Amino acid sequence: MSQTLGKNNNADNAGNKAVGKSINRVDGRLKVTGAARYSAEIPVEKITYGVIIGSTIAHGRIKSIDTRAAESSPGVLAILTHLNAPKLRPMPALAAGGAALESRVPLQDAFIYHSGQNIGVVIADTFERATHAATLVRVTYEEQPPVVEMERQRAKAVVPKEKVAGKPPDTVRGNPAQGLAQADVRVEETYTTPTEHHNPMEPHATTAMWEGERLTVYDATQYTFGVRKTLAETFGIPEDNVRVVCHFIGGAFGCKTMWSQVSLAALAARYTRRPVKLILTREQMFTMVGHRAQTEQQVTLGAKRDGHLTAIMHKGISHTSQAEVGEFVEPYTVATHMMYASPNLQTSQRLVRLNKGIPTYMRAPGEAPGMYALESALDELSYELRLDPIELRLRNHADTDPDENLPWSSKSLKECYKLGAEKFGWSRRNPTPRSMRDGRYLIGMGMASATYPVYRFPATARARILQDGSAVVYSSTHEMGTGTATVMAQVAADVLGVPVERVRFELGDTDLPRAPVSGGSATMASVGTALQGATQAARAKVLELARMDTRSPLYGIPETEIAFENGQIFLKSEPTKSETYETVLKRQNLQQVEANFDAKFDEAQKKFSMHSFGAQFAEVRIDPDFGEVRVTRFTGAFATGRIMNFKTARSQMIGGIVMGIGMALLEETVTDSRFGRIVNRNLGEYHVPVNADIPAIEAYFVEETDPHVNPIGAKGVGEIGITGVAAAVANAVYHATGKRIRELPITPDKLL
């Protein structure tokens, strides 16, 4: 049921179908020519500029704010603080369809919970004048000592209020203590991952304007409908009065849900009766729009001599903000539940409240840090057992989901190990640590598993077949740079049997049919299903017009005998009996035919456990004198259902791997414990990988046919690419040096 697609044995096995082809991005030209308009770039008449004032303390309350000098500064229209800001209502929770992670409504009181918290907004006629005026605002505080070190707050850790990725915060399967007692070999180690920031190229940006009680917002968001609902509830107006538009996103990775600048832009626009544009600075991108939480994870593995796991325990803490700001759990134990076939399992997650902004989703929230810990521990166990790391994983392969007691809808993890190992050259690895060299450099090879769940969310779409035989499909999903606009057009083109150039997909506007948050790698599964359904429904309407019409060559022919290909609607057994969309619509004198579709998924009735899997392989070269780690080669093999567009899917994997290498070696947000302030809040000191850090990355697919995940058969490709990468690199570092680094990032100082 599976076939391999890869760089060299690729790919375009789709015949005359669009799905499965490596089609270039439909918006590629717009983007490279600068014609694509991002949220901050939409021209609006009489625009004004908002600049947020951030708190310089991390904990306490505002004693006084003196805005007099700022107010008389040239070009200033207004300054809003908690002293004069209109009252706003509470924001709806995520579960209620809201988009804001923070529950704190801005500018309603004097309390300060974290450094950089918004305490005011200056509105002026230019960005520069607003920025200058903001520096003239004088704030005094009643300061309390900030609590920002998670390690010092272990004793105060609390049980999460909400579930942790759908599971209770504490879980037990079988009898973990007994399992551990039966083990011949144990690994018990603590792994830590630091706070990380998303840092998309495009900062958060919002333009808000009112016409009476109607609000229009251009926002960089991966959840237009969530922003709409949140704004409607906060301002106490009907949802229909709010329109949220977002045509392009310059990277999101989970942070572009909704943050305070959206409400502040709308508030400022209402107050000044002028459109307001509010763009966050790079520095503000570190303080008020979420981050990946710091984690400290203990993993305990017990195994028999033959490698079979008798128990897995995975416990730990991560940080969240103060209760008034909101609670977020980084669900690092999520993959541990289903990854290996241990009969005994225990997981436990606790939260530490700090004076930091609220953490949020960041590419593979949970799996990214969790698989670093779990897959590092597996690697440690493989050395204890003197067993090849792949062989250890094969011996513990979960043939069914051990937690849900459900069969997999499809699973090709073994094929991924095999393909990845072959392409990477795993057999050339000498298993002994510190045994491989290249001149004075130490060489290491490491591997890890990758996984990510298949999520599906309700979605709606509309398809319109036009009289010229072209089609337009609509759904308010988002183009985050992943290729959504391209792949959706491919889906619709195949349903209609027309070339992909004949289909246009319109997205990113709440005037269009409702789409879910573009998160959880679920857009193809959710919106794709809706769009396929809508296009099928529109096609059926056209066919019906032909079948009911005595003038049509298809008159009276049953639907099952009809095919749609090469722009023709024809009788399968006699292809010359054919019509085109154009001839049908013209004869009926119709400009267009339209249909809608609601995609719903019954998660409660699920009979299969649905996940993507993969295998990650890293080769590192380490300078033994300076501790510098270079990743010299990286190979990933992934099974993510049907591959819709090999080119865009491969790009997602490569992007995930690059981000994973950053996580392994570079990324770390540093907070000054005295002031609770982030020290490296810029891209000069917060290190993300650059070209020189990244080797040639190879990404391969084991393509699967999975009829259970959704009618399209795609599992989603946005997040799995990052999972397991940091572990593969850390495992390669151990193999090269004999030194186990259990604290990310693996910086040179830790290797000396």
Q: Work out how close the CB of 744 gets to ligand MOS at its nearest, in angstroms, rounded to a whole number.
A: 18
Q: Work out how close the CB of 694 gets to ligand MOS at its nearest, in angstroms, rounded to a whole number.
A: 21
| Per CB under 6 A, 444 contacts ligand MOS | no
**Segment contacting ligand MOS (CB under 6 A): 203-211, 360-368, 409-417, 492-500?**
360-368
Q: Angle CA(59)–CA(60)–CA(63) in degrees, nearest 5?
A: 140
**Segment contacting ligand MOS (CB under 6 A): 224-232, 246-254, 275-283, 439-447?**
246-254
In the complex with ligand MOS, which residue's Cβ is closer, 65 or 252?
Answer: 252
Three-state secondary structure call for residue 549: coil
| Per CB under 6 A, 290 contacts ligand MOS | no
Q: Which of residues 578-637 bind ligand MOS (CB under 6 A)?
A: none
Q: Work out how close the CB of 165 gets to ligand MOS at its nearest, in angstroms, rounded to a whole number.
A: 11
Consecutive H or E run containing 581: helix 581-587
Q: Angle CA(518)–CA(521)–CA(522) in degrees, nearest 5?
A: 70
| Per CB under 6 A, 481 contacts ligand MOS | no
Residue with tokens 């669900």: 331
**Segment contacting ligand MOS (CB under 6 A): 247-255, 393-401, 624-632, 655-663?**
247-255
In angstroms, rounded to a whole number, what is the distance separating the alpha carbons of residues 506 and 495? 17
Beta bridge partners of 619: 445, 633
Q: Work out how close the CB of 703 gets to ligand MOS at its nearest, in angstroms, rounded to a whole number.
A: 23
Task: Please name which of 418, 456, 501, 523 lies closest in space to residue 21, comparing C-alpha atoms.
Answer: 501
In the complex with ligand MOS, which residue's Cβ is closer, 519 or 660?
Answer: 519
Q: Work out how close the CB of 481 gets to ligand MOS at its nearest, in angstroms, rounded to a whole number.
A: 12
In the complex with ligand MOS, which residue's Cβ is closer, 328 or 408?
Answer: 328
Task: Please name which of 51, 198, 211, 15 lies closest in space to residue 129, comparing C-alpha atoms.
Answer: 51
Q: Work out how close the CB of 388 gets to ligand MOS at its nearest, in angstroms, rounded to a whole number.
A: 33
In the complex with ligand MOS, which residue's Cβ is closer, 120 or 483?
Answer: 483
In angstroms, rounded to a whole number, what is the distance separating the alpha carbons of residues 661 and 618? 10
Mapping DSSP onto H, E and C, the string for 689-745 reads: CCHHHCCCEEEEEEEECCCCCCCCCECCCCCHHHCCHHHHHHHHHHHHHCCCCCECC
At residue 222, φ and ψ (nearest 5 deg) are: -100, 20
**Segment contacting ligand MOS (CB under 6 A): 340-348, 362-370, 395-403, 628-636?**
362-370
In the complex with ligand MOS, which residue's Cβ is closer, 55 or 222?
Answer: 222
In angstroms, rounded to a whole number, what is the distance separating the alpha carbons of residues 606 and 588? 43
In angstroms, rounded to a whole number, what is the distance separating the alpha carbons of residues 615 and 623? 26
In angstroms, rounded to a whole number, what is the distance separating the alpha carbons of residues 359 and 56? 19
Q: What is the dihedral of CA 479, 481, 482, 485, to 10 degrees?
A: 40
Please pick, from the candidates 245, 362, 495, 702, the single residue that binds ligand MOS as defined by CB under 6 A. 362
Classify residue 561 by its DSSP letter. G
In the complex with ligand MOS, which residue's Cβ is closer, 253 or 417?
Answer: 253
Q: What amino acid occupies position 411?
A: K
Beta bridge partners of 702: 4
Q: Where are the alpha helices (DSSP H) in 629-692?
A: 646-665
Residues in the chain: 752
In angstroms, rounded to a whole number, what is the distance separating the alpha carbons of residues 630 and 611? 31
Exactly one of 102, 202, 668, 719 is catalytic; which is it?
Answer: 719
Q: Which of residues 164-223 bind ligand MOS (CB under 6 A)?
A: 222
Q: Work out how close the CB of 363 gets to ligand MOS at its nearest, in angstroms, rounded to a whole number.
A: 5
**Segment contacting ligand MOS (CB under 6 A): 172-180, 356-364, 676-684, 691-699?**
356-364
Helix, strand, coil shares of the chain, percent, nearest 5, are 30, 30, 45
| Per CB under 6 A, 716 contacts ligand MOS | no
| Per CB under 6 A, 250 contacts ligand MOS | no
Q: Which of residues 504-523 bind ligand MOS (CB under 6 A)?
A: 519-520
In the complex with ligand MOS, which residue's Cβ is closer, 79 or 726?
Answer: 726
Please pick, from the candidates 307, 359, 365, 369, the single residue that binds ligand MOS as defined by CB under 6 A. 365
In the complex with ligand MOS, which residue's Cβ is closer, 361 or 474?
Answer: 361
Residue 599 structure tokens:
């995609």
How many other C-beta atoms lie within 10 A of the C-beta of residue 741? Answer: 20
Q: Which of residues 253-282 bind ligand MOS (CB under 6 A)?
A: 253-254
Q: Work out how close the CB of 520 gets to ligand MOS at its nearest, in angstroms, rounded to a whole number.
A: 5
| Per CB under 6 A, 662 contacts ligand MOS | no
| Per CB under 6 A, 361 contacts ligand MOS | yes
In the complex with ligand MOS, which residue's Cβ is closer, 252 or 542?
Answer: 252
Decide: 437 and 714 in contact? Cβ < 8 Å. Answer: no
Decide: 717 and 709 in contact? Cβ < 8 Å. Answer: no
Q: Work out how close the CB of 368 gets to ligand MOS at its nearest, in angstroms, rounded to a whole number.
A: 9
In angstroms, rounded to a whole number, what is the distance separating the alpha carbons of residues 633 and 495? 40
In the complex with ligand MOS, which residue's Cβ is closer, 267 or 480?
Answer: 480
Q: What amino acid occupies position 370?
A: G
| Per CB under 6 A, 291 contacts ligand MOS | no
Q: Work out how close the CB of 115 gets to ligand MOS at its nearest, in angstroms, rounded to a whole number.
A: 24
719 is catalytic: yes
Q: What is the dihedral of CA 575, 581, 586, 589, to 10 degrees?
A: 130
Closest residue to ligand MOS, based on beta-carbon distance: 254
First to last CA, the chain: 48
Compute the radius of gyration of the chain from its Cα atoms.
27
Task: Please name which of 83, 161, 156 lies closest in space to residue 119, comparing C-alpha atoms.
Answer: 83
In the complex with ligand MOS, which residue's Cβ is closer, 117 or 318?
Answer: 318
Q: Which of residues 519-548 bind ligand MOS (CB under 6 A)?
A: 519-520
Angle between helices 529-547 and 484-496 in degrees, nearest 10: 30
Q: Where are the alpha helices (DSSP H) in 1-86?
A: 28-32, 68-71
| Per CB under 6 A, 363 contacts ligand MOS | yes
Q: Which of residues 212-231 bind ligand MOS (CB under 6 A)?
A: 222
Q: Work out how close the CB of 244 gets to ligand MOS at its nearest, in angstroms, rounded to a whole number.
A: 17
In the complex with ligand MOS, which residue's Cβ is closer, 340 or 361?
Answer: 361
**Segment contacting ligand MOS (CB under 6 A): 101-109, 248-256, 287-295, 727-735?**
248-256
**Segment contacting ligand MOS (CB under 6 A): 223-231, 359-367, 584-592, 655-663?**
359-367
Residue 33 structure tokens:
């020519």
Q: What is the dihedral of CA 215, 219, 222, 227, to 10 degrees?
A: -30
In the complex with ligand MOS, which residue's Cβ is closer, 346 or 669?
Answer: 669
| Per CB under 6 A, 232 contacts ligand MOS | no
Q: Work out how close the CB of 364 gets to ligand MOS at its nearest, in angstroms, rounded to a whole number.
A: 7
Q: Work out how close the CB of 334 gets to ligand MOS at its nearest, in angstroms, rounded to a whole number.
A: 12
- Count interface residues toward ligand MOS (CB under 6 A): 10
Task: Please name which of 688, 563, 580 lies closest in space to residue 200, comparing C-alpha atoms.
Answer: 688
| Per CB under 6 A, 328 contacts ligand MOS | no
- List active site positions: 719
For ligand MOS, the binding residues (CB under 6 A) are 222, 252-254, 361-363, 365, 519-520
